């Protein structure tokens, strides 16, 4: 806690500067490049009164740490490094004991305590912006209304597909699922117990989403949205969010590890060992390779036994378990290829961006936001989602031509530098804040 009783954010440990390189600008629809300096005018981090801008950033941490938690922490550090005064308001699902669950469920549509706390924080800090990341389940949509009624503009980052899907992932029973799209009440999520594998929990969240769509919360209470790419924007517009308020801004990495040599002669998988990550596709593809290719797998999760069994069966497969960040830098940098096999619509995987930071090409599925990141022949290659034979062919073709893999690395690194470094990302975020404040002012005038 800081002197004011606010929770401090645990920041990532990776931070190494890299020298600027010549960049290859690859136009990719839906994925904006970061603004280049000197460029156009950038909104100041000072507020309308000339004082330092005050921002409150809200986030509900997941029970198991994930990419959204990392993005939240990265963004807080980014804002502070740019001179913005940041106050955080957080909740932790790991703190939820069985005794707290009934109260949490009742507060999912409207958490009175979160509403009151945020109104108090806005009054104390004079915050002009409240930026909300994950609100499920302990913050609730009440925080959007609390911010507006306290006079702040509201920004919301779309980390997932929650406004259309109670589970947030558009994934069920091993496949993409859009059954809840277009429904006033997302009843299929309740029937299939999509949220936390419980019908009761799914019913509470489905009812909350139905209520807030009926109230018009996505339109009435939020001034600007942040989407990592055009795919998630299109999906959320289809779910009823206003297209003119959704701003495209890619994720970024706060610590640039510098390019790696890629001379390890192996492919790498990095991620949570869970069904949506397509591990069955990955391992079956390795069984079908015409010649063995070394594969290193790093991660933890419920499918660890599956990975360990494959490592025992296939001599080319090595399971590394959990690997610390500093060692991962070297592993990614020495890898010839990162294999990304997710069978769901990822919003914008940090893993792929981290591979790009090392100059490591990626083989990824031809669906979702991956199509915006993996550019054939520039940052890697795409394969038919869920098809182990197609994946095996792509990997085999890549390793059959080491010179082409080596030639690709500078292009991958340039693509990373052009889009995913902090300087441009801060400029983009300040522009979004300015747009949110302008919309808020227009709303007050009306």
What are the beta bridge partners of residue 270?
298
List the single range of 40-54, 136-150, 195-209, 396-410 with lowest mean pLDDT: 40-54
Q: Is 177 left (phi over 0), alpha (psi -120 to 50) or beta?
A: beta
Q: Indicate the Cα dihedral angle 276, 388, 415, 159, nearest 10°.
A: -10
For residue 24, pLDDT over 50 is answered with no
Task: Note the pLDDT tens digit of each residue in 66-121.
Answer: 889 989 999 999 999 999 999 999 999 877 655 555 556 676 889 999 999 999 99
According to the model, what pLDDT value does residue 65 have? 84
Region 222-246: what's the mean pLDDT? 96
Q: End-to-end CA distance of the chain: give it in Å, rounded.
A: 40
Give me 98's structure tokens.
């069985």
Alpha-carbon span 309 to 357, nearest angstrom: 31
Alpha-carbon span 143 to 113, nearest angstrom: 10
According to the model, what pLDDT value does residue 104 have? 64
Task: Note the pLDDT tens digit of each residue in 43-61.
Answer: 555 654 456 899 999 999 9
Region 194-219: what's the mean pLDDT? 94
Contacts of residue 38, defined as CB under 8 A and 6 or more positions apart, other chains included, come to none
Give strand ranges (E) for 232-308.
246-248, 267-270, 295-298
Q: Is 414 left (phi over 0), alpha (psi -120 to 50) or beta?
A: alpha
Q: How far is CA 219 from CA 127, 289, 334, in A?
A: 21, 50, 47
For residue 36, pLDDT over 70 is answered with no
Q: Tell me how crowded residue 251 is: count the other CB atoms within 10 A of its CB.
A: 23
Task: Look at residue 304 and give its three-state secondary structure.
Answer: helix
What are the beta bridge partners of residue 295?
267, 317
According to the model, what pLDDT value does residue 442 have? 85
- The DSSP H or E segment spanning 115 is helix 112-125
Beta strand 171-172 with 175-176 is antiparallel
According to the model, what pLDDT value does residue 137 have? 87
In the chain, where are the structural domains located?
Answer: 54-254+421-441, 267-419
CA angle 303, 304, 306 (to 5 degrees): 70
Q: 352-390: buried (b, 16+ CB within 10 Å) or exposed (e) per residue?
A: bbbbbbbbbbbbbbebbbbbbbbbeebbbbbbebbbbeb
For the residues of 193-234, what is the DSSP string, one character each? T-STT-HHHHHHHHHHHHHHHHHTHHHHS-SEEEESSHHHHH
Give me 204's structure tokens.
């509470």
Contacts of residue 135, defined as CB under 8 A and 6 or more positions apart, other chains included, come to 58, 60, 141, 143, 144
According to the model, what pLDDT value does residue 22 have? 27
* Domain 54-254+421-441 in this protein, CATH class: alpha beta
Q: Is 153 left (phi over 0), alpha (psi -120 to 50) or beta?
A: beta
Higher pLDDT, 149 or 13: 149
Q: Do domains 54-254+421-441 and 267-419 have the same CATH topology?
A: yes
Alpha-carbon span 329 to 333, nearest angstrom: 6
Mean pLDDT of the chain: 88
According to the model, what pLDDT value does residue 393 have? 98
* Domain 267-419 in this protein, CATH class: alpha beta
| Percentage of residues of the chain with pLDDT beyond 90 | 76
**CB-CB contact of 440 with 153 (8 Å):** yes
Alpha-carbon span 391 to 394, nearest angstrom: 5
Please tell me the pTM assigned to this model: 0.84
Give strand ranges (E) for 337-437.
337-339, 362-365, 380-383
Task: Look at residue 388 and give its three-state secondary structure.
Answer: helix
Q: Is 130 left (phi over 0), alpha (psi -120 to 50) or beta?
A: beta
Alpha-carbon span 422 to 264, nearest angstrom: 29
């Amino acid at each position: 806690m800081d002197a004011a009783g606010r929770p401090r954010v645990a920041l990532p440990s990776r931070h190494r500067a890299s020298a600027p390189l010549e960049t290859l600008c690859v136009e990719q629809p839906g994925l904006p490049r970061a603004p280049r300096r000197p460029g156009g005018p950038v909104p100041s981090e000072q507020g309308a009164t000339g004082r330092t801008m005050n921002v409150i950033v809200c986030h509900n941490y997941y029970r198991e740490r994930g990419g959204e938690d990392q993005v939240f922490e990265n963004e807080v550090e980014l804002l502070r490094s740019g001179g913005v005064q940041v106050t955080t308001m957080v909740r932790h699902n790991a703190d939820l004991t069985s005794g707290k669950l009934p109260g949490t469920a009742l507060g999912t549509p409207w958490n009175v305590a979160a509403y009151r706390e945020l109104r108090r924080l806005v009054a104390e800090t004079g915050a002009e912006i409240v930026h909300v990341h994950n609100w499920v389940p302990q913050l609730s949509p009440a925080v959007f209304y609390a911010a507006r009624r306290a006079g702040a503009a509201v920004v919301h980052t779309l980390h997932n597909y929650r406004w259309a899907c109670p589970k947030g992932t558009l994934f069920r029973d091993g496949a993409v699922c859009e059954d809840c799209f277009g429904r006033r009440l997302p009843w299929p999520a309740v029937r299939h117990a999509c949220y936390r594998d419980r019908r009761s929990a799914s019913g509470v969240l489905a009812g909350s989403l139905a209520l807030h769509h009926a109230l018009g919360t996505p339109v009435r209470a939020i001034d600007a949205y942040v989407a990592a790419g055009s795919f998630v924007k299109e999906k959320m517009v289809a779910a009823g969010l206003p297209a003119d308020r959704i701003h495209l801004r890619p994720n970024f990495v706060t610590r640039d590890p510098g390019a790696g040599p890629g001379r390890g002669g192996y492919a790498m998988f990095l991620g949570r060992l869970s069904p949506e990550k397509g591990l069955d596709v990955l391992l079956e593809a390795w069984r079908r390779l015409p010649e063995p290719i070394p594969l290193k797998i790093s991660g933890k999760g419920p499918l660890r036994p599956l990975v360990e069994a494959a490592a025992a069966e296939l001599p080319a497969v090595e399971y590394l378990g959990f690997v610390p960040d500093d060692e991962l830098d070297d592993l990614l940098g020495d890898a010839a290829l990162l294999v990304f096999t997710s069978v769901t619509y990822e919003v914008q995987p940090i893993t792929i961006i981290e591979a790009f930071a090392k100059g490591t090409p990626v083989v990824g599925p031809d669906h979702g936001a991956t199509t915006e990141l993996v550019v054939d022949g520039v940052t890697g290659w795409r394969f038919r989602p869920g098809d182990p034979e197609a994946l095996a062919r792509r990997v085999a073709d890549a390793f059959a031509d080491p010179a082409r893999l080596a030639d690709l690395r500078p292009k991958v690194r340039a693509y990373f530098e052009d889009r995913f470094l902090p300087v441009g990302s801060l400029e983009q975020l300040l522009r979004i804040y300015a747009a949110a404040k302008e919309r808020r002012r227009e709303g007050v005038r009306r």
